[in-house]
């Protein structure tokens, strides 16, 4: 695990903003309470202790709180830990850069959202334009922060937009090679294919998904996404056939039954969407697995990639 990016001054004092991964009040051998924490930012995490803890003086802290700490790094049993001298909750006035606190998509969420919305706005098919822009508007606040998963690909703040834009970009390139594709339908499917994850994932306001919702567990994002398309189709009054084509693309975008799709893609646009979705997810997982691997080295075995070890070429 990497070291946190806290700022250290010339006197060895360190301070900065971080995320609370865990926090528990414990008692030392003298019967004095202390706060035992694990703190993290986007670079790593560390164990932290606040000795002589008082809830009245120091406040209380929960998992996923954003805090500011000041203290010193010490070594205990050959392991670094952070001794907290001062601690408080972060406030809006701090203007904390969330990209430095939690894993975050590499592009601005608003810019990614605008790209999707403007792409739909350029559709010549008025029905597809209407339903896609409606769903984007209705879910804007969630889209700006939601991850695409709990642990696997794009499980970062803004990761759902990041993945969606990547799938759209792949679809756009493929459409240049195959002019017979219905571009508006393909791009609409790319934008909406994972919309059901907004109800499948139990994500907080930080964009961290710690679990799945009951709806996600019982139905999954494919079925939830189809229901969202069907409801939006009634509200935006698009033709049943248009809604059916979009629903099939949602239903089949995982490609095979063993990957969660009850139907194989049954028209070219659905096939292209499935290929783009799979490619982007695998490229993300491969990049993550090879991060930190030296040249000519191998990664650990990757469960999500058929238990393969990946090789970093020189």
The answer on 208 and 71 residing in a single domain is no
203 and 242 share one domain: yes
pTM of the full structure: 0.83
Whole-angstrom Cα distance, residue 248 to residue 261?
A: 10
CATH code, 94: 2.40.50.140
Q: How much is the pLDDT for 113? A: 98
**Is residue 90 domain-resident?**
yes
The answer on 123 and 251 residing in a single domain is yes
Query: Which residues, in sequence order, are bridge partners of residue 87?
Result: 69
Last residue in a domain, options 98, 130, 156: 98
On whether both 91 and 190 belong to a single domain, the answer is: no
Query: Which contiguous run of DSSP H or E holds residue 51?
Result: none
14's tokens: 């360190």
Point out the domain boundary residue: 98, 115, 150: 98
Residue 314 counted as domain residue: no
**One domain for residues 71 and 118:** no
Shared domain check, 193 and 114: yes
Q: Do 131 and 74 share a structural domain?
A: no
Percent of the chain with pLDDT over 70: 96
Low-confidence ranges of the chain (pLDDT < 50): 1-2, 10-11
The confidence score (pLDDT) of residue 10 equals 45
Residue 312 within a domain:
no
Q: Are residues 207 and 266 in the same domain?
A: yes
Tell me the residue range of the domain where 260 lies: 103-290
Give the domain CATH number at 167.
1.10.3210
**Residue pLDDT, tens place only, 4-16:** 556 555 445 788 8
Last residue of a domain, one of 98, 129, 159: 98
The per-type count for the chain, helices as H runs and strands as E runs, is 11, 8
């Amino acid at each position: 695990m990497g070291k946190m990016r806290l700022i250290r001054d010339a006197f060895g004092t360190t301070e900065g903003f971080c995320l609370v991964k865990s926090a528990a009040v414990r008692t030392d051998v003298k019967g004095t309470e202390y706060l035992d924490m694990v703190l993290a930012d986007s670079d790593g995490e560390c164990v932290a202790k606040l000795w002589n803890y008082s809830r009245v003086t120091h406040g209380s802290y929960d998992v996923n709180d954003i805090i500011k700490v000041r203290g010193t790094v010490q070594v205990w049993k050959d392991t670094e830990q952070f001794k907290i001298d001062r601690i408080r909750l972060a406030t809006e006035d701090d203007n904390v850069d969330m990209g430095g606190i939690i894993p975050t998509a590499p592009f601005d969420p608003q810019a990614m959202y605008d790209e999707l919305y403007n792409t739909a706005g350029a559709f010549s098919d008025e029905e597809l334009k209407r339903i896609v822009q409606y769903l984007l508007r209705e879910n804007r606040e969630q889209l700006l922060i939601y991850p695409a998963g709990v642990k696997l690909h794009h499980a970062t703040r803004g990761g759902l937009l990041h993945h969606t834009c990547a799938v759209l970009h792949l679809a756009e390139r493929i459409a240049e090679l195959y002019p017979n594709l219905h571009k508006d339908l393909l791009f609409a499917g790319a934008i909406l294919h994972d919309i059901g994850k907004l109800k499948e994932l139990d994500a907080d306001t930080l964009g961290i998904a710690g679990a799945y919702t009951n709806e996600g567990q019982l139905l999954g994002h494919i079925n939830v996404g189809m229901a969202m398309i069907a409801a939006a189709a009634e509200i935006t009054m698009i033709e049943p056939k248009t809604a059916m084509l979009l629903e099939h693309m949602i239903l089949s975008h995982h490609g095979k039954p063993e990957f969660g799709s009850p139907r194989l893609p049954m028209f070219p646009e659905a096939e292209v969407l499935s290929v783009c979705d799979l490619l982007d997810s695998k490229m993300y997982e491969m990049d993550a697995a090879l991060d930190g691997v030296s040249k000519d080295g191998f990664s650990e075995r990757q469960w999500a990639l058929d238990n393969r070890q990946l090789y970093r070429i020189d």
